[in-house]
Structure 1
Amino acid sequence: MPFDLGPGTAAFLAVSLLGAAYVRGYSGFGFSAIFIASAALVTNPLPLIPVVFACEIAMTALQARGIRGHIDWRRVFAMLGGAAIALPFSVSFILSVGSDTARLAVSLIVLIMSLILLTGWTLQRRIAAPGHIGVGVVSGVCNSAGVGGLPVAAFMTAQPMAAATFRATMIVYLTGLDSITLPFLWHGGLVTLDTLNGLAIAFPILGLGIWLGSRRFNATSPDGFRRFAIILLLALATLGLIRALV
């Protein structure tokens, strides 16, 4: 078993992986935050972060056909440009101080943003490229702790955007973000043979979760999707706070 996991721990992680993949299939984000927070309850989650990122990339291959026509490429490229600026520094920082401090800060920011969004507030104008680059910088800093998608999801939820565009853009952005992050994690010694073995074991579970979540998305309304996204952000931020504090 990869990472010397016992049978009970492996079973718990498999169930957590299925739930996280379902949420990703439905909303386009939340997979990394859910799985890493769950894994932290039973093991050290840091070696699992490269597996999570590889899973994000694999899931995009499973979803590519259904999202192709809905991607906002301008947003994606602007945010990835910002993330690329931050990542060389943020990975080194996380490896030196640990991921809990970063997760605590991210969770506080996302929690406050989610509570504001819950009141119904939205940005009335499309944000220009510099704003998306800035969000990408924040996301790059956060992604070395495995939660780079949360600030982006909060930022995009505040903007007037079709649910299909939100979901597709989040999926493609997170794929690009994790693809940029993985070489830095490899350089830091976190990508090993166990990473590949973990991905191979996870792939069938990912496929089932993505299929179930995508079916749920196709049956939802735009208002229902936005409400789910905000509640998910609140839940993830709260879970991150509890984990970091406890």
Structure 2
Amino acid sequence: MDSPGLLAAAGVIAFCAFFIRGYTGFGASMIMVAALTFFWAPAEVVPLIFLLEVAASLALVPGAWREAQWRSLWLLWLGMGVATPLGIFLLTWFAPETLTLVIAVLIALAAAAMLAGARNAGVPGRVATLAAGGVAGAMNGAMAMAGPAVVLFYFSSPAGVAAGRASLIVFFVLADLLGAGFAAGEGLYDRQTLLRTAILALPVLAGAYAGSHAFRFAEPETVRRFALIFLIAMALARVLSIAAS
């Protein structure tokens, strides 16, 4: 049985993580996995996060639906679906720590280049979009981390921050529903997990709403810079965690 103090701490973490999710369109899962695994086992945390992400998506999607770039979303989903087995195959050739280290460094370098001013001159075509989805799928299969590739894709696009954020929100709906479905199929949802989900749902929804509200009053470039700095910080945290282990 979880103590009230532990659940209160988890609630604060959930609010902060989903504030960032509402503000930028991504990031909650990275924070939640890093923080909640201090309290609970990863096998308990990941299924919980899938359900909380779905709950947040239900709150955020209505406001993002019209601005989402549906053409690119379908291509990204297709590329991700095709390439996810490739990521799983890579695990048979390379150690997970090696793959994580290489990918984290590449993410940090790409985000730093974008922070310095590098952007796509035009809207990415079908091949480039499918390729981005393929990279996301390979990362998803290799290390369960499809998000960074899609974040870099949208925040380097000339379509604008609002369209990129909306597209990220919609993109993660399918990813989280699939994740929750697979977790359910593996029997990972017990009474304890469902109880934690019910308790944390309120701070999750409050954080997502507050972040979404803050986005409405933010300058697009401020949101973009925050998102890229956050991505660099998460990538470097991965590198440091591997170096320390």
Counterpart of 1:158? 156
Out of 239, 242, 245, which is 2:243 matched to? 245
**CA deviation string 1:96-127 (max 9, x = no partner):** x9975554343222111111112111110211
Counterpart of 2:101? 104
Counterpart of 1:180? 178
C-alpha distance in structure 2 between counterparts of 1:13 and 1:240, whole Å: 21
Counterpart of 1:56? 53
- Give runs of aligned pairs for residues 189-204 of structure 1, distance below 5 A: 189=186, 191-193=188-190, 194-204=192-202
Kindly provide the amino acid, as one letter, of the partner of residue 229 in structure 2. I
Out of 136, 139, 150, which is 2:136 matched to? 139
Structure 1 gap ranges (5+): none
- Give runs of aligned pairs for residues 1-80 of structure 1, distance below 5 A: 1=1, 5=2, 8-80=5-77
Kindly provide the amino acid, as one letter, of the partner of residue 150 in structure 1. P
Change (3 A) 1:184 1:20: same
Confirm or deny that 1:168 pairs with 2:166: yes
The runs of at least 4 aligned residues of structure 1 exceeding 6 Å deviation read 91-94
C-alpha distance in structure 2 between counterparts of 1:185 and 1:133, whole Å: 27
Deviation for aligned residue 1:89: 6.3
Q: Is the 8 A contact 1:49 1:146 kept in 2?
A: no
Deviation for aligned residue 1:90: 4.8
Q: Is the 8 A contact 2:55 2:205 kept in 1?
A: no
Give the % identical residues. Answer: 26
Confirm or deny that 1:211 pairs with 2:215: no
TM-score of the pair, normalised by structure 2:
0.86
